[in-house]
Amino acid sequence: MKTVLLLGATSDIGQALADKYAKEGYTVWLAGRNTNHMQDIAADLKIRHEVAVEYYKFEALDYVSHQKFYTDLPGIPDITVCIFGYLGDQEKAESAWDECQNILDTNYKAAVSILNIVASSYEERSVGTIVGISSVAGDRGRQSNYFYGSAKAGFTAYLAGLRNRLFKHNVHVLTVKPGFVDTKMTEHLELPAPLTAQPSKVAGAIFKAVKKRKNTIYVLGIWWLIMTIIKSIPEPIFKRLKL
């Protein structure tokens, strides 16, 4: 029975992924801060899908604990999905370093810290799949969210380098750019429906992309076109736009 480890399992995308992989017969390992919530998720999945589901306490920003967290797992997961993130408050972060640091640390440093450990174990075994949830916000910096976007840009570059390093070791690395997703993290935003995916859509796209060993996916294809256009705008024009 194959095993998937979900880092950030209580997020909406994390729960959708847990449901998808449990439905497909995988053993699911949930990892996150809220153990009570994970206990409820695990109980529900066991009843509905009759699969093994375990949950483990994981603190993304406690880098020192990452090695012990991974070593204490009952085995090496076949697939590891890094889901956790923090959108943050762009305006607040422009003047409050704590908010800015939290955005940068959660979306980049914490992800790199735990995935470095996972990558080394997969490289040693010459097998495994790493999935990183990045963002279209990382494709080009914009005034509306450039702290979050710059952290995700770094994470996208990290995943690309990891893919380049691990390809020869038969380890698959997938970068996911969901675009807008209807989740608790974005519930305060007015998102255009045609450009917004449900978490179940994201989970389904990830499951298929892992099976096909794809490198990078935009969950909604329209986002590839949008970001291609945005990236092609010359900087002298781009800097005058309100984006």
Q: Which positions are catalytic?
A: 148
* Residue for token pair 């470095």: 116
Beta-bridge partners for 30: 6, 55
Structure token pair of residue 82: 């890094």
CA-closest candidate to residue 58, choices 34, 75, 87, 78: 34
What's 135's DSSP letter?
-
Question: Is the distance from CB of 207 to CB of 24 less than 8 angstroms?
Answer: yes
Question: Is the distance from CB of 206 to CB of 81 less than 8 angstroms?
Answer: yes
Question: Is the distance from CB of 175 to CB of 160 less than 8 angstroms?
Answer: yes
Q: What is the C-alpha to C-alpha distance for residues 115 and 163, in angstroms, rounded to an integer?
A: 12
Separation in Å, CA 136 to CA 28, 33, 89, 239: 28, 26, 17, 18
Strand-strand pairing, 196-197 and 216-218: unpaired
CA-closest candidate to residue 122, choices 61, 60, 167: 167
How many DSSP H helices and E strands does the chain contain?
10, 9
